[in-house]
Each structure stands twice: as structure tokens, then as C-alpha cells.
């Protein structure tokens, strides 16, 4: 059994950054991602979450996503079986982790952020929550976002502006002005 665990750990993670990409990792609040905005009365949609995850993939940014156990039920109410099937596919493919019933996904997201930080990543949490009720959760820079009806992800900071490459000093390259300014902005984060 130990051998099987070791083999599984050595497999590439489905949301891992592309080889040669940087040391940034984003932990996504999947429930916020499904809602896609803070608009009162908004209903969760799996396509919003998929758009947010695809945005990270498009720029080679590694990510984990964690959903509350209740998200599945809220998706079922909003989108029916089709939405639940799409969400279950994300769970099966390892693109989203589902928190156990009664365990707030926010706490697990913070734990994941700490683990990624221990691995040497500069970690951000993509959420529209304040995390005030979770001490230590606001120690990570936050990415606030909306997903438009066109499926565009608008965020601050912009996902595409996150440092995506190993710093130039490490690989002997000259950094671009964008890499330098973004790296300086991110440098002060935990």
C-alpha cells in the first residue's frame, strides 16, 4: 500500500504549472468561483468555476480549488442534474476538492495555501469572501474576481499579471519590466 501511495505522489498534479513556469500558486474558493460575483441573488453555475480555473490554466498558474459540501446541492437547485454531473466531473478529475460535510472549505483552503507556501510558492487565495472569521486566512494576498455573462474573468490583481516564471536571477535571464514590477508588488506577500 505504501508503494501505491508513493507512486501516486510522484504523478503530475492535474493543476500543476507548466514546466519552467514560476513559483506562484492560487488556491481557489470554488464556491465563490461558482457564484462568479458578489451580486445579490446570483445563482452558482459550474461554467463560472470552469472559466476561473481555465483562466489560471491559460497562464500556466498552478492552482487548487476547494468547495464546500453544500455547493453540490446549490448547483443542483440552480442547474439540475446537468450541473451536478459537470461539478462531479471536476471532483473526479481532481480539479476541485470537496470539503467533508460540516467542515468549512475556507479552513481547508487556508491549509492548502500554507502547504503550498511551505513548498516555496508565493500563494494567493482567489475568493470573494473576506475570511474575517478565519484567523490567519487574510495572511495571504487575495484575488477578487467576477465572471461576466460572456465568461470573461475580471480580477484584481489580474491573473495574467501574476509572476509566471522563475525570477530572472535564478535562470540568468533579463526580466521584462512587467515581471520586475509584478515581482516587486508580490514580494511583500506571505
Per-residue model confidence as pLDDT tens for the chain (190 residues): 434 333 434 444 556 544 434 589 999 999 999 999 878 888 999 999 999 999 999 998 999 999 999 999 999 999 999 999 999 999 999 999 999 999 999 999 999 999 999 999 999 999 998 776 666 556 889 999 999 999 999 999 999 988 754 333 333 333 333 333 333 333 444 4
- The Cα–Cα gap between 88 and 98 comes to 10
Q: What residue has cell string 519590466? A: 177
Domain ranges, ordered by start, for the chain:
19-187
For 106, 109, 152, 162, 179, the CA distances from 128, given in Å and listed in that order, are: 11, 13, 16, 18, 26
Question: Do 31 and 71 meet the contact criterion of CB atoms below 8 Å apart?
Answer: yes
- The Cα–Cα gap between 181 and 91 comes to 36
Q: What residue has cell string 500556466? A: 60
Backbone angles phi, psi at 126, to 5 degrees: -90, 110
Thinking of the domain 19-187, which architecture would CATH place it in?
3-Layer(aba) Sandwich (3.40)
- The Cα–Cα gap between 180 and 147 comes to 28
- The Cα–Cα gap between 26 and 159 comes to 9
Contacts of 103 (CB under 8 A, 6+ apart): 69
Amino acid at each position: 500500500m505504501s508503494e501505491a501511495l508513493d507512486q501516486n505522489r510522484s504523478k503530475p498534479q492535474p493543476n500543476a504549472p507548466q514546466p519552467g513556469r514560476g513559483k506562484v500558486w492560487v488556491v481557489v474558493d470554488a464556491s465563490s468561483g461558482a457564484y462568479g460575483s458578489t451580486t445579490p441573488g446570483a445563482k452558482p453555475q459550474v461554467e463560472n468555476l470552469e472559466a476561473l480555473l481555465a483562466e489560471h490554466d491559460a497562464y500556466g498558474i498552478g492552482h487548487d480549488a476547494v468547495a464546500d459540501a453544500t455547493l453540490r446541492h446549490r448547483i443542483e437547485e440552480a442547474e439540475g442534474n446537468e450541473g451536478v454531473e459537470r461539478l462531479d466531473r471536476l471532483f473526479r478529475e481532481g480539479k476541485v476538492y470537496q470539503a467533508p460535510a460540516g467542515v468549512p472549505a475556507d479552513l481547508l483552503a487556508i491549509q492548502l495555501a500554507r502547504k503550498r507556501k511551505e513548498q516555496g510558492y508565493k500563494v494567493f487565495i482567489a475568493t470573494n469572501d473576506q475570511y474575517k472569521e478565519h484567523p490567519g486566512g487574510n495572511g495571504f494576498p487575495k484575488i477578487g474576481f467576477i465572471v461576466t455573462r460572456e465568461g470573461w474573468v475580471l480580477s484584481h490583481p489580474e491573473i495574467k499579471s501574476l509572476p509566471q516564471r522563475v525570477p530572472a536571477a535564478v535562470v540568468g535571464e533579463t526580466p521584462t519590466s512587467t515581471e520586475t514590477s509584478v515581482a516587486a508588488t508580490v514580494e511583500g506577500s506571505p
